[in-house]
Amino acid sequence: MTKTNITSSLNPVGKPLISIEPQRGWVSLELTDLWHFRELLLLLTWRDIKVRYAQTILGAAWAIIQPILTMVIFSVIFGQLAKLPSDGIPYPIFTYTALLPWQLFAFSLTNSSNSLVGSQSLISKVYFPRLIIPIASVLPALVDFAVSFLVLIGMIFYYHIPLTTRILVLPFFLLLAVATALAVGLWLSALNVEYRDIRYVVPFLTLFWQYATPVAYSSSLIPEKWRLLYGLNPMTGVVEGFRWALLGSGRVDGMIWVSVGIIFLILISGLAYFKRMEATFADVI
């Protein structure tokens, strides 16, 4: 029979291609599997980007409108009315520089927290490495970031802010922001599968986190004795890093490595928790 010939040539004698066993103890990340599905990762990211502004009149302009409007509001309230110091930098660009990484972080975090629950039908019907879902939901915010970054470049010229070689370090801080969002997002997305409370927690978390990060104000307002505690927030490092690299203000010191360490910890623990819970996602979602 021709039947068997075809398949046996596809699959020579030996080990099974895939073995399915109960999950016990620590689990590997199955990175090869993740690599195998890299096209899906890109497609899901692309889908989110493409669908994001579907049926909106202004379309991708929203990517610029949101940070600009926030900047205007902050400038009026914190810059004009409250007269918060901005380290000698014009307040609008002072806050806009911080808003870009902050909104990148906040959008990514919100997206990834809801990502698994939002992909319910996929999870219960198809196999693919579940890690793809939160990762793919973090990436679209980068496109918004890129668009609104163009506005920042315009502002830098408008305010005659000299650029230095420090700008070369910017990608590092960008990576840090994405990593923080992913790390926290991994935890929240997996928790959200079992506890839908997370959905209501996230808006407060981002709001609170924003005030704990020097987005609208300068970190120089923080008393020296609280500095250490304050610096534990990785987003402080990111925002200060952005100001430092682009505006020459801000403060980047050894604390940045504490931030990196903390992000690393959250990321590793988030991955472990995620992989542990992964086996039951389809059952409880």
Closest separation between CB of residue 9 and other proteins, Å?
Answer: 9
Rg (C-alpha) for the chain, rounded Å, is 22
**195 binds other proteins per the rule CB under 8 A:** yes
Q: How far is CA 172 from the centre of its chain?
A: 14
Which residue, 80 or 280, has its beta carbon nearer to other proteins?
280
Ranges of beta strands (E only) in 184-271 are: none
Q: Does residue 194 bind other proteins (CB under 8 A)?
A: yes
Choice between 28 and 165, CB closer to other proteins: 28
Phi, psi of 126 (to 5 degrees): -135, 150
31 binds other proteins (CB under 8 A): no
Q: Is 30 in the site for other proteins (CB under 8 A)?
A: no
CB of 135 to other proteins, least distance (A): 15
Our finding on whether 25 is near other proteins (CB under 8 A) is no
Considering beta carbons, is residue 128 or 273 the nearer one to other proteins?
Answer: 128
Whole-angstrom distance, CA of residue 117 vs CA of residue 260? 29
In the chain, the amino acid numbered 250 is G
**Nearest residue (CB) to other proteins, 138 versus 191:** 191
Residue 139's identity, in one-letter code, is: L
Q: How far is the CB of 22 from other proteins (least distance, A)?
A: 5
Q: Is 230 exposed, middle or buried (0-12, 13-18, 19+ CB in 10 A)?
A: middle
Cβ contact 260:254 at 8 Å: no
CA distances to 28, 154, 157, 252 from 247, rounded to whole Å, are 43, 13, 12, 13
- Contact between 29 and other proteins by CB under 8 A: the answer reads no
Among 2, 28, 32, 165, binds other proteins (CB under 8 A): 2
Q: In a 3-state reduction of DSSP, which class is residue 119?
A: coil
Q: Which residues contact 244 (CB under 8 A, 6 or more apart)?
A: 166, 250, 251, 252
Establish if 10 lies at the interface with other proteins (CB under 8 A). Answer: yes
101: left (phi over 0), alpha (psi -120 to 50) or beta: alpha
Site for other proteins in 242-281 (CB under 8 A): 279-280
Site for other proteins in 112-141 (CB under 8 A): 121-128
Q: Minimum CB separation from other proteins for residue 19, in Å?
A: 5
x/- letters, 44..83, toward other proteins (CB under 8 A): x--x--xx--xx----------------------------
**Binding positions for other proteins, rule: CB under 8 A:** 1-8, 10-14, 16-23, 37, 39-40, 43-44, 47, 50-51, 54-55, 121-128, 194-197, 279-280, 282-285
